Copies of this chain bind each other. A is one copy, B any other.
Amino acid sequence: MSSPSSPTTAATDQGMVLTLSCPNQKGIVHAVTGALLEVEADITESQQFDSPDTGTFFMRVEFHGPATRDQVQSVLDPVRERFGMELGLWEATRRTRTLVMCSKDGRTLNDLLFQQRAGTLPIEIPVIVSNHLELQSMASFYGVPFVHIPVVKDSTINSKEQAEQRLIDLVRQYEIELVVLARYMQVLSDDLCRSLEGRAINIHHSFLPSFKGARPYHQAHDRGVKLIGATAHYVTADLDEGPIIEQEVQRVTHAQTTQDLVNRGREVEGATLCRAVRWHAQHRVLLDGHRTVVFN
């Protein structure tokens, strides 16, 4: 490998993002910044967090410099080994390849597609999957391939098992890094949840207090809540209980009908999901056990 100061690489000025976590001990930041200094990296943003709960140290660094990704990886390797780090290294301009799943409600899909095209969401969306056809024209307007994967109970050709296998095939085929459930109204199997752990984000309505069971907006209306909200979280086998990335609320009153609450809810859900996806795609979200560390 060429040295960091070789003429071929010196011409570039590559922006990169580094994330790491490891058992906390003295000297981590010193070692990491020493390695980055070695490849003449210029740090532009850096955050760290020492979790008192798990004893884990978390760090995210944005930097740029003449070194290639491989060169940076090389100087970091000994540091990684010394501290037992989990370490990620990405080119800053690289867009996270994202598969979006949806059903009939287009609000969150529209938010994602618009922001992606406007350049405020650092993802690319090579494919959209839906168990319905309603949102095909929206996908088509944004020029994104739309794959219809119906799920039919007790069907031999469109069973949930087969549908999930097709999804897994698409994830492989399109080299998907992130799956976003944009109001996809099918419960994923435990196996699929586990296989996507840490790389699938869901959006969920949320209330104070929360409501279990069916028709939550009806329950919220019956209870006369004054705030309705949304929670964006990573998907885990434990339904709707995955690590929380972002939450948001909006005010409602006694005069609003259940349908008003639903509409208001959709608005909050779209905005909250977009923020969660943006932070994930910028490698700002790290897992600390069941909690997230969000460096935003």
Residues of A within 8 A of B (CB): 26-27, 29-30, 33-34, 36-37, 40-53, 106-107, 110, 114, 118, 120, 137, 141, 206-210, 221-227, 229, 231, 243-249, 253-255, 257, 263, 267, 271, 288, 290-294
Contact yes or no, B37 A45, CB < 8 A: no
Q: Which residues of B contact A248 (CB under 8 A)?
A: 227
Residue A110 contacts which of B114, B229, B247 (CB distance < 8 angstroms)? B114
Given known pairs A29-B33, A208-B231, A210-B210, the reply for A223 and B43 (CB within 8 Å) is no
Contact yes or no, B227 A229, CB < 8 A: yes
Q: Which residues of B contact A267 (CB under 8 A)?
A: 271
Given known pairs A208-B231, A210-B210, A226-B244, the reply for A254 and B292 (CB within 8 Å) is yes
Instruction: Tell me the bound Cα distance from A110 to B292 in angstroms.
Output: 32
Number of copies: 4
Residue A247 contacts which of B120, B227, B292 (CB distance < 8 angstroms)? B227
Can you list 15 A-B pairs, Cβ within 8 angstroms, ordered by A? A26-B43, A33-B33, A47-B48, A49-B254, A52-B257, A106-B114, A107-B118, A120-B263, A208-B210, A208-B231, A223-B290, A225-B247, A227-B247, A249-B249, A254-B293
Contact yes or no, B37 A222, CB < 8 A: no
Q: Which residues of B contact A292 (CB under 8 A)?
A: 224, 254
Q: Which residues of B contact A40 (CB under 8 A)?
A: 26
Q: Which residues of B contact A206 (CB under 8 A)?
A: 208-209
Shortest Cβ distance from residue A117 to the other chain B in the assembled complex, whole angstroms: 9
Instruction: Tell me the bound Cα distance from A257 to B210 in angstroms.
Output: 23
Contact yes or no, B208 A247, CB < 8 A: yes
Instruction: Tell me the bound Cα distance from A288 to B254 in angstroms.
Output: 9
Q: Which residues of B contact A263 (CB under 8 A)?
A: 120
Shortest Cβ distance from residue A202 to the other chain B in the assembled complex, whole angstroms: 14
Contact yes or no, B294 A254, CB < 8 A: yes
Shortest Cβ distance from residue A241 to the other chain B in the assembled complex, whole angstroms: 8
Shortest Cβ distance from residue A169 to the other chain B in the assembled complex, whole angstroms: 30
Q: Which residues of B contact A120 (CB under 8 A)?
A: 263
Instruction: Tell me the bound Cα distance from A129 to B86 in angstroms.
Output: 53
Shortest Cβ distance from residue A224 to the other chain B in the assembled complex, whole angstroms: 3
Q: Which residues of B contact A26 (CB under 8 A)?
A: 37, 40-43
Contact yes or no, B223 A244, CB < 8 A: yes
